[in-house]
């Protein structure tokens, strides 16, 4: 039997990168998946790929900064599939790179609103939906949530916040059978890092590679395997943790 047989899952930021890889893997392992993102075309393409292989999924355009949008996402999953078992809160942005004194307040707010408040908005409604029967929530943090990041104060602050939120909520909701953990990826070959919207040039990306013990960027599918483990009953005693998948950068 597949690891997520008959489970219902939400994946935010599901149109690309780690979210896309996880949505596809969840479906492969038997879950019915709500793919949430702002990019409708890419999100629908993920749903089509799932359906082509016999899986079940739907797309919901979701701005995680908006509480109502997060409520509607959870309601849509429950209305369509009857319950919610798994949530991967993965939507995020990197923000601009620069000294703290030069960060515009609007940029600071954008990064915190998406990366941290967005996770909170989703969790509020996911927790309410899961209280009756339990579930697993995985929040995307980062190794930058474990250490300082010169030039990335807003991003690092937001990811530190995700870990704090994850730990606190895990202590509150364990009695309901809800497990809550954080994923801390290292440098992964996603559009945020190596795509046209990346803030890193070739020299910078090569420097990042040299910080890894494996001397390469990770692949989204490698992060998805950790998310799958945390979503499944294989990790039934894991909650309140942050799980580092970074090729040894923080070792």
pLDDT digits over 109-129, tens only?
999 999 999 999 999 999 999
Strands ordered across the beta sheet of 32-37 = 56-61, 32-37, 8-12, 86-89, 135-140, 178-185, 242-245
Task: Give me the active site residues, please.
Answer: 155
**Per-residue pLDDT tens for 32-89?**
999 999 999 999 999 999 999 999 999 999 999 999 999 999 999 999 999 999 999 9
pLDDT of residue 114: 98
Instruction: Check whether 141 has a pLDDT greater than 90.
Output: yes
DSSP tally for the chain: helices H, then strands E = 9, 7
Domains of the chain: 8-236 (3.40.50.720)
Contacts 24+ apart (CB under 8 A), 114-117: 114/64, 114/65, 114/158, 115/155, 115/158, 115/159, 115/161, 115/162, 116/158, 116/161, 116/162, 116/165, 117/64, 117/65
Residue 208 has a pLDDT of 86
Considering the entire predicted model, what is its pTM?
0.95
């Amino acid at each position: 039997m597949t690891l997520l047989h008959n489970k219902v899952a939400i994946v935010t930021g599901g149109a690309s990168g780690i979210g896309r890889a996880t949505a596809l893997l969840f479906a492969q392992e038997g879950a019915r998946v709500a793919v949430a993102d702002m990019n409708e075309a890419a999100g629908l393409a993920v749903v089509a790929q799932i359906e082509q292989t016999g899986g079940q999924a739907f797309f919901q355009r979701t701005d995680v900064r908006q509480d109502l949008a997060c409520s509607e996402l959870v309601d849509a999953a429950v209305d369509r599939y009857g319950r919610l078992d798994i949530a991967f809160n993965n939507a995020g942005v990197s923000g601009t790179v620069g000294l703290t004194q030069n960060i515009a307040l609007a940029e600071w707010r954008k990064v915190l609103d998406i990366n941290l408040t967005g996770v909170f908005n989703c969790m509020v409604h996911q927790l309410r939906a899961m209280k009756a029967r339990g579930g697993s929530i995985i929040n995307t943090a980062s190794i930058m949530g474990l250490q300082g990041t010169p030039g990335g104060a807003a991003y690092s602050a937001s990811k530190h916040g995700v870990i704090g939120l994850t730990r606190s909520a895990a202590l509150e909701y364990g009695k309901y059978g809800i497990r809550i953990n954080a994923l801390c990826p290292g440098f992964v070959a996603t559009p945020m890092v190596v795509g046209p919207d990346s803030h890193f040039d070739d020299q910078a990306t090569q420097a990042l590679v040299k910080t890894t013990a494996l001397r390469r960027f990770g692949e989204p599918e490698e992060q998805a395997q950790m998310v799958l483990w945390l979503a499944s009953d294989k990790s039934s005693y894991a909650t309140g943790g942050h799980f580092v998948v970074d090729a040894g950068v923080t070792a």
